[in-house]
Structures are given as C-alpha cells and as structure tokens.
Homo-oligomer: A and B are copies of this chain.
Amino acid sequence: MQRKISAFRELTHADLQKINDMKTCVAFKKGQVVLHEGARAQGVYCIHKGNLKFYKMNADGKEQILRFAMAGDLIGYRSLLSDEAIRVSVAALEDVHACYIPKASFFEIIHSNPKFSLNILEASCKELGEAGRVIASLAQKSVRERLAEVLLILNATFQQDADGNINLQLSREELASMIGTATESAIRLLSEFKEDKFVETSGRKIKILNNAALRKVANLYE
C-alpha cells in the first residue's frame, strides 16, 4: 500500500538533469492550501517531504477528504492533463517540501519523454482503482465498517512510528470526513473500538492493536 513509485523513476540522467533545471523548490506550511478547487493548475508539484490531503468543500462548508499525497507523489497533473479546472483542493497536513514544475515545462517533459507519461499513467490508474474501492465502501458499508477500513488503510499507507501509532495525525473531524460521517459518530465508534481493545489512542495518535479484528469488522478479506 505504501507508495514507492515516483513518476521520475527510470528516467535517464540527462532527462533528470533537464527536469532539474526547470524546477523550483517550494515549501508549504502546515495547513496551507496548495491547490484550490475551481482554479486552473499552473504547474505540478512533486512532493519531497510531508503529507497532504485532497478534499472537496460542500455548500455548507463541510470538508470531504478524498485521499492523501505523500513524498514521491506528483500533484496537480490531473487538472493539467484533463484540461479541466482543479476539482479537488489540496492542503498540507504538515510542513511540506516540494518542487514546482510549471505547466509548459511539464508538457515539454511529457511530450519528449514517453516513459514519464507512462509513469504518470500508471499512477493515475492506481488512483482510479483506489477511488473505486472508496466509492464501493461509502455506498455499501456502514459507518462502523468504514471506520475500521479507513484505520487499516491509514495504518498500511502511512506505516507506524516508533511507538506503533499510525504515522499520520488527523483531527477527529478529518477522520470523520474521510468516512463521510458526523464527527460525533466517528468518535463514538472509535470509543467502541477502544473498549474492544481493537485500537488505542493518545490525543490524535492512533495505534492499531488488533488488525485481524478490524479486518473482520470492515468486511475485508482480501
């Protein structure tokens, strides 16, 4: 589940050098919005350090988290390549280091380097597969099942810190938003999981204690 693919892998040294010349280093503070829904992407960011969230805002100002980006991921390419406005905002969950490649340079690389576009194609196909899972989960599973599933996925995606906690800290509100439920409901179910000794929490740190039990709750047998 951990992402290890960079769109830049397997490129020649010369190509990498060319890309290097086009890019600019940028940093984002925790909470800063990198891409705004509705705007036009002007380029892409390649993440070096720090996690980000993709989210949509609904009419009531409620946020819906769709997925995350982490080191090695490329963001903003969807809007450029589909030639549509940005449909999903992206914000830094922690301080982020990234490099910026402007639109023109990005298309130059894309056109001159088939391998690069194939790498992006592969990444977007994986994201598409993952989106399918999320859709089926939201449509068919109960909030309880979804919470268990999301905890397992976060645990697998972001790995664990030294103490075994999921290596990504979200507010209860953000956690609820991933699952598509009210904050209070997410909290209540998380409390149940704690009572059942499936998980353990300390502030925003969450530690999975019983993976198998959660898989069962989530109806995941893959």
Contact = CB atoms under 8 A, between A and B. Distances in A.
Question: Chain A interface residue count: which class?
Answer: 35 or more
Nearest to A120: B121
Given A114-B111, A114-B114, A132-B56, A125 B219 contact: no
A24 to B, nearest CB: 24
A110 interface: yes
Contact of A135 (B111, B122, B135): B135
Nearest to A59: B219
Contacts of A87: 129, 132-133
A198 to B, nearest CB: 20
How many copies altogether?
2
A195 to B, nearest CB: 25
B136 A64 contact: yes
B64 A139 contact: yes
B128 A121 contact: no
Interface stretch (A77-85, A94-102, A206-214): A77-85
Interface of A: 54, 56, 58-59, 62, 64, 66, 77-79, 81-84, 87-88, 110-111, 114, 117-118, 120-122, 124-129, 131-136, 138-141, 177, 179-180, 219, 221
Given A62-B140, A131-B132, 14 more contacts: A58-B140, A58-B141, A59-B221, A64-B140, A79-B125, A81-B122, A82-B129, A88-B129, A111-B118, A117-B118, A124-B128, A131-B135, A138-B139, A140-B180
